[in-house]
Amino acid sequence: MSTVPAGAAAPESRPGSGEDEVPEEVGAAADGSAGRPGAGARLTSFGLIVLTVLCGITLVLGFVNKDRCTGPRFDEYGRSQPDFDKRRYQDVCYSDIQTLWIGRDIDRHVFPYVHGSLTEDGQPIGGVVEYPVLTGVFIWASAIFASTDADFLLYSALLLAPFGLATAWLLGRMSGWRALLWAISPPLVLYAFHNWELPVVLCATAAFYVVHRGWGRRGADRPLLTRATVAAVLLGLGFAFKVYPAIFVLPLMLYVLTGGRGGAESPGRAGPDWKGALRIAGVALGTAVAVNIPFMVAGFEGWRASFTFQLLRKADITTNSIWFWGLRPDSNPDNAPVQELIGVLSPLLMMISFVVACGIGWMRYQREGTYPWLPVSAAMLCGFLLLHKVHSPQYTLWLIPMFVLLRIRWGWILAYLVADLAMGIGIFRWYYEIFYGEHGDIFDGFSAQAVMIGVWGRAALLVGLFCAFLTARETFRDDRERLTV
């Protein structure tokens, strides 16, 4: 019995089907996209080791880059001296990790959230950090043995690095040498230890991996619902690190609803798997709630403060978003009506972009027989990055795995990396000019212009990538691609 929608394209040839199989690299060249010989080919164990070692070297370079801001002396609070505030911008070695050593009670080793709150002017105190609970606990654990901001940066890097290495390994297992886009990319040097992004990137990548590769000896022979349930747990954990993986739950639900690959991974079911789709939603939500409940019970005010802080955050010069720069000069932080308007439009337009992405994915499913949950997830991420009121430079790390897993033209990737480099370097040089230099105006000097290239270059590219991802093919083949026809 066929579960392929009426009018859908014929199933692709499968190994052992008796039909001639088109090599993946040939198909990549035929569709005019970013195919390269061997793209997506399985790596040997030695190849995976080489890939992981290269990623390790990149992570070391990333640490060395940030470590330039530490020491050589420290004040009574463990803050690097001399001239830390000036050096972090002038030398482009800024990191949130080192900066937040002071100001969030990290240096006092206060366990996060439990005794915290916000001050009258919206500043976190009592151990509150402006991140979800798993990131907060990770920050606290990284600081246990630290007495200076240099110690904190080092211990944080040591704990974060395995997440970056594991991400490289999973991407290599799926897409072969294309995973070098992650392992040796400039963003990994710039941002691996800029903030606490690596754990959440691993959660999202692992969710993609288990759906298409499974785990253990059975691998992708495990039932779709089993694989998708584990992915939902990973996405729920991702929410508890940095929120954004939660948006991937909806396309995963649609993937399960429609029967997975070719609509044929729900044997014995003639129609949509509503029960399975709702199970995915429940598992993801239940995981996120289960992680958060202990903090809600132990200190509700402190737990709520981390979310309230982000809700109250205004679009300003530090957010790097289209909202601040697109609505100048009315977007000044003290212009309450405009800030309130941004607070409404930003999430509303993000939701619309999610619906559009899922809808286009559904039309593609009707033509091809497989709901493109990974391409839709990538497009939704573009909508999130473009329309959120905060677009920090390190968010590029969220996007890099999508460049690995989806076959798009190399021009998109290179252009985005250039725009990101302009932002990642330009923003801190410009801050230096504003606070310590002579060319702080937006029309003065190259640094300010680099920021504009970064803001509007990324914005234009995210619009294009939104469309490109929705038509893209994966750079890998599932271990188990079988259709019941």
* Rounded-to-5 percentages of helix, strand, coil across the chain: 60, 5, 35
pLDDT (0 to 100) of residue 269 = 72
H runs (alpha helix) in 106-261: 133-142, 149-175, 180-183, 186-191, 198-213, 224-242, 249-257
Residue 125 token pair: 């105190």
For Cα atoms 317, 243, 138, give the angle at the middle one, nearest 5 degrees.
95
Neighbours of 434 (CB within 10 A): 16
Task: Look up the pTM and report it.
Answer: 0.89
d(CA 155, CA 142): 6
pLDDT (0 to 100) of residue 22 = 35
Placement of tokens 């199970």 in the chain: 279
Residue stretches of the chain with pLDDT short of 70: 1-41, 268, 439-440, 442-443, 478-485
Q: Do 59 and 161 touch, CB atoms closer than 8 A?
A: yes
Helix (H) or strand (E) holding 449: helix 445-470
CA 449 to chain centre: 26
Neighbours of 386 (CB within 10 A): 21
d(CA 398, CA 248): 12
For Cα atoms 67, 72, 77, give the angle at the middle one, nearest 5 degrees.
90
Phi and psi at 299, nearest 5°, equal -165, 80
- Whether the upstream peptide bond of residue 11 has omega within 30° of 0, thus cis, is no
pLDDT (0 to 100) of residue 42 = 79
pLDDT (0 to 100) of residue 484 = 33
Bridge partners of 474, per DSSP, are 406
pLDDT (0 to 100) of residue 41 = 63
Q: Do 26 and 20 touch, CB atoms closer than 8 A?
A: no
Question: What does DSSP assign to residue 219?
Answer: B
**Sign of the CA dihedral with 406 first, then 412, 413, and 417 last:** negative
Instruction: To the nearest 10°, report the CA torsion of 375, 380, 383, 386.
Output: -80
d(CA 335, CA 333): 5
Q: Region of 219 please: left (phi>0), alpha (psi -120 to 50) or beta.
A: left
Residue 236 token pair: 């729920």
pLDDT (0 to 100) of residue 446 = 85
pLDDT tens for 194-246 read: 999 999 999 999 999 999 999 998 888 899 999 999 999 999 999 999 999 99
Q: Is 424 exposed, middle or buried (0-12, 13-18, 19+ CB in 10 A)?
A: buried
**Sign of the CA dihedral with 276 first, then 278, 281, and 287 last:** negative
Helix (H) or strand (E) holding 472: none
